Amino acid sequence: MLQIEIDHLNKHYGGFHALKDINIAIEQGAFVALVGPSGCGKSTLLRTLAGLEKTSSGDLRIAGESVVNKPPRERDVAMVFQSYALYPHMDVEHNMNYSMRLKRRPKQEIAERTRVAAETLGLGALLGRLPKALSGGQRQRVAMGRAIVRNPKVFLFDEPLSNLDAALRVHMRSEIRKLHERLKATSVYVTHDQVEAMTMADHIVVMRAGVIEQQGSPLDLYDRPINKFVAGFIGSPAMNFIPAFVSPDGKRLVLEKDQDQSLAIGQHAAPRIPLLMGLRPEHLSFTGEKGNLAITVVVDAVESTGSMTFVTASIASQQVVAAHSGRPSVSRGSEIKLYIAPKNVHLFDAETELAIR
């Protein structure tokens, strides 16, 4: 069953077209991430779902019912903000059950729902504390608790982890995901962090300048990006792009900067059209196999995190990054070859930036 339907949605701020013909269908219980660079419109889309922004045209349905003319409180959605938006003068318990007290729910129900939410989030011992006496992670939990207490049809998250340090962020990611699996409520999660989106979501919507560039499962987007933008946005470190062209006989792909190197291909593009080869850092290897493309590069930097090694190298003035899970013996300034299997080579039209294979 579809829980959220976003149907030809447009949003204008005066003369500025912030959301352009957005269409998304979200299944009941799905975890959807909206990602894209700053200013692409992801928060605007989320706020439109919450009813905090009016739509200019198009429809929004929650559980089959149009909500475009409904105020936020009648939409049965709960939003968790980046700033947490806690009331500073209320303790954890009162912050969590504020919306129920506002609705004058029976005292017993308020107490019971608050208790369950506090237990779910491990906040039982903190109910009497004011927000200023909590750590960032605990505040984030209270903000989540406030949403859970309302038992909404839909959870909306606006970059809820961006104020936490890196370790806590990784921990809270899996906490939110576990909570989602337990509550099974439909969730829409805004982030500019593609790793967060890849690890948490079932479905990712990649936006740029008010437009949906591509949507699909995390691995779909990783394996089959439809254009250079999505290819460069999904995956970390980002995909490398190297200029190439198809040989005059149409049978080989030739590197612009290393014309001794070519890759046999089927008929994918007309000869001589300027192309970009897309090579993921994790697909570039330091040892080759028969049939691999071998690219001669000069090593600029070798960085190790202990478990991973990142080698930055250049081919003419073009930089490429190779990621290796071991500790390759390469040193700065040396000339080496990087190898890649043909099946891992992505190809884009250099002008339209659309994927051609």
Contact residues for ligand ATP (CB under 6 A)? 13, 16, 18, 36, 38-44, 192
Q: Judged by CB, which is closer to ligand ATP: 52, or 68? A: 52
CA 86 → CA 29, 89, 93, 100, 127, distances in Å? 27, 9, 11, 15, 13
Beta carbon of residue 61, minimum distance to ligand ATP (angstroms, whole number): 21
Give the CA dihedral 19, 41, 59, 51, nearest 10 degrees. Answer: -130
Give the C-alpha separation, 237 to 190, whole Å: 21
Residue 49 or 246 with smaller CB distance to ligand ATP: 49
For ligand ATP, the closer CB: 212 or 320: 212
DSSP per-residue codes, 124-135: GGGTT--GGGS-
Nearest distance in Å: CB 40, ligand ATP: 4
Supply the minimum distance, in Å, between the C-beta of residue 36 and ligand ATP: 6
Residue closer to ligand ATP (CB basis): 39 or 288: 39
Helix axes 166-183, 107-121, angle to 10 degrees: 130
Quote the least distance from Cβ 208 to ligand ATP, whole Å: 9
Phi, psi of 167, deg, nearest 5: -65, -45
Q: How far is the CB of 190 from ligand ATP (least distance, A)?
A: 6
Cβ proximity to ligand ATP: between 20 and 177 the closer is 20
Phi, psi at residue 164, to the nearest 5°? Answer: -100, 155
DSSP state at residue 13 = E
Shortest distance in whole angstroms from residue 68 CB to ligand ATP: 18
CB of 102 to ligand ATP, least distance (A): 26
**And the tokens for 160?**
């809820």
User: Using CA atoms in the order 137, 138, 139, 142, what is the torsion angle rounded to 10 degrees?
Assistant: 130
For residue 328, give both structure tokens. Answer: 């390759």
Nearer to ligand ATP, 20 or 153 (CB): 20
Would you give the DSSP letter of residue 238?
P
Token pair in block for residue 123: 């906040």
Which of residues 26 and 49 has its CB atom nearest to ligand ATP in the complex? Answer: 49
Contact 244, 256 (CB under 8 A): yes
CB of 192 to ligand ATP, least distance (A): 5
Residue closest to ligand ATP when measured from CB atoms: 43
What is the spatial distance between Cα 357 and Cα 347, in angstroms, rounded to a whole number?
A: 6
22 is written with which tokens?
């957005």
Q: Which is nearer to ligand ATP, 16 or 317 (CB)?
A: 16
